[in-house]
Amino acid sequence: MLRTVRVSLLLAVATAVVTTPGSAQLTLEPEFEPTDEELGLLPLLTEQLLSWPTTPNYTDARVFRFDDGRYVVVGNAASDEWTPVPGRTPWSIQMIGLDVAENPPHLLGMSVGRPLFGGRGPGAPIDEVIVEDFDGDGDLDLFVCAPWPGMRRPHTVAFEQPEWITLDQTSVHTPGCPSLAGQGPDDLSPALEEARSRAGIPALVATVISSDSVLAEGVAGVRDVRFEEPATLEDLWHIGSVTKSFTSTLASKLDGDGDFSWQLTLGEVFPEAEGTDFDTVPATALARHISGLPANPDQQWFFSTRASDLPPVDQRREVVGQALAEGPTYPPGSRMLYSNLGYMALGSVLETRLGDPWQVLLRTHVLRPMGLSTAGFGPPGSEEVVDQPRGHVRNADGELVPVPGLDNPAALGPAGTLHMSVRDLARYAQQHLAGERGTNGLLPAEQFQRLHRGGLGDYGFGWVEGVDASGRRLIWHNGSNTAWYAYVGLMPEVDRAFVIVTNGSGDARPAVHALLDELLDQWTPRGSSPKPSSDPLSLPRQTDPKRGPT
């Protein structure tokens, strides 16, 4: 177990006040009497403050003394010179390192951290500073915990360099603030109710997590607009194409276990592919949407398959075989075309190789080992009793109406028919987030990381790799069978993941992403969600007025 060293020799609480441009004043409010030598550091500290690119206005700063004669000043600073955000005061955690073991004392280094835009006022006092080897590399890292203005939970940041030469902010894995031990997640329900009411949708559920904690969660609204039965955190929610990441996770697990190979070619599995342009296409191409297969089976299949007596495994195998016999719609590997049929083919490859249906394989190798006990297939709940949330679609008058039992055919399963509780979906996202940050789980960390790496069209293996408005890496996937909308996003740089689901139809996508913007603003230093001009991840619609879109 790593030993946590708390910096207990707190010298003083210092406040620097900017009086005129280019000048600063550093004063001490001692918690115990400083020595003459320590008081002699004030001119040097003030000089270094003035040397920063912008002169920040400190709301709190603390000077820490180490046994070897090094001092570190940790400050919570704000400056109007930083790029403003309407309604926000940008602030940042800053550090200066000094070495007084030599005469005269000299500057070791300083950090000029990125401005943070999460608060609605300047930074509050720093809560804790801890030194620990967070990332296990044998060197000590400095961890700063500071309350986030307007939020009960603090912002945390880590600086790595044992000698404090550069004091550069890094993304080393940091623990939660010790002062919050035993504190439950924040309640998002009031914010969700505001977002739900504003968008006019039945229900919203969301959670914010780190790689080892649930930070916030909440639910608002009703299961069915015709009834007053409230939605709950234990309810089951359809996640649509987020299922694709589960199918890719399954394939990676089987690949690691030696039961399947990502390099297995279509010609080795399907006789229809032998001797065609599909012959040498590997299974990786199915997961990355570069196989040459079309986006979906034809519209007629969506009608006919519902009347078929064949089990989903055989329906899947049949429609994939037909598509392979027709040849690729584009040269395999030349472009990315989002393909539900491609994920149906990947499921069929796994079924052919291991001899069990995709549902059985997924439950055996992914859902149960991850402890996702609420996961199931198809629309959740009963069509007769409102025992779970129901998906909704808009009728000809633009009103949301419930559609109990509506989903895509079961044969489309590997591409998008899973349901589960938001807490189980968060547990799944948490393993992927931790894996991206180097922690082994169901898969070794490097296999999690491989799944997240984008290729053509930024698409990896069931995940899209992009950046948010601040340029930070964002790994995400969404899904909708047109009656629900789900979103999962991972931000490894700030150790956060966001899960949001609604039963308010696929048209609720703008409301979900507006909520995501708010959560990003509150729970990460800054940024907003990317908003593609079109959503390539939605499933095809059918025109049957009795069944609605699918």
- Is the pLDDT at 155 greater than 60? The verdict is no
User: How does residue 101 score in pLDDT terms, banded at 50, 70 and 90?
Assistant: low
- Is the pLDDT at 117 greater than 80? The verdict is no
Strands, DSSP E only, in 459-528?
A: 464-467, 473-479, 485-491, 496-502
| Other CB atoms within 10 A of residue 294 CB | 17
Percent of the chain with pLDDT over 70: 62
Per-residue pLDDT, 235:
97
d(CA 320, CA 326): 10
- Is the pLDDT at 124 greater than 60? The verdict is no
Spell 505-537 as b/e; 16+ CB within 10 A means b. bbbbbebbbebbbbbbbbbbbbbbbeeeeeeeb
Per-residue pLDDT, 7:
34
- Is the pLDDT at 464 greater than 80? The verdict is yes
User: How does residue 212 score in pLDDT terms, banded at 50, 70 and 90?
Assistant: confident
Mean pLDDT of 45-54: 52
User: How does residue 472 score in pLDDT terms, banded at 50, 70 and 90?
Assistant: confident
Per-residue pLDDT, 516:
95
Minimum mean pLDDT range among 157-161, 402-406, 460-464, 471-475:
157-161
- Is the pLDDT at 172 greater than 70? The verdict is no
Per-residue pLDDT, 44:
59
How do the domains of the chain map onto residue ranges? 5-180, 189-263+360-383+392-523
Nearest to 149 by CA among 116, 108, 111, 198: 116
Nearest to 408 by CA among 482, 316, 321: 482
User: How does residue 40 score in pLDDT terms, banded at 50, 70 and 90?
Assistant: low
* CATH class of the domain at 189-263+360-383+392-523: alpha beta
Mean pLDDT of 350-361: 97
- Is the pLDDT at 80 greater than 70? The verdict is no
Per-residue pLDDT, 156:
46
Percent of the chain with pLDDT over 90: 57
Per-residue pLDDT, 87:
42
- Is the pLDDT at 74 greater than 80? The verdict is no
Nearest to 542 by CA among 412, 420, 419: 412
pLDDT tens readout for residues 221-279: 999 999 999 999 999 999 999 999 999 999 999 999 999 999 999 999 999 999 999 99
Q: Among the residues of 279-408, which ranges form H helices?
A: 283-287, 299-304, 312-326, 340-354, 358-362
- Is the pLDDT at 383 greater than 50? The verdict is yes
The DSSP letter of residue 230 is B
Per-residue pLDDT, 73:
56
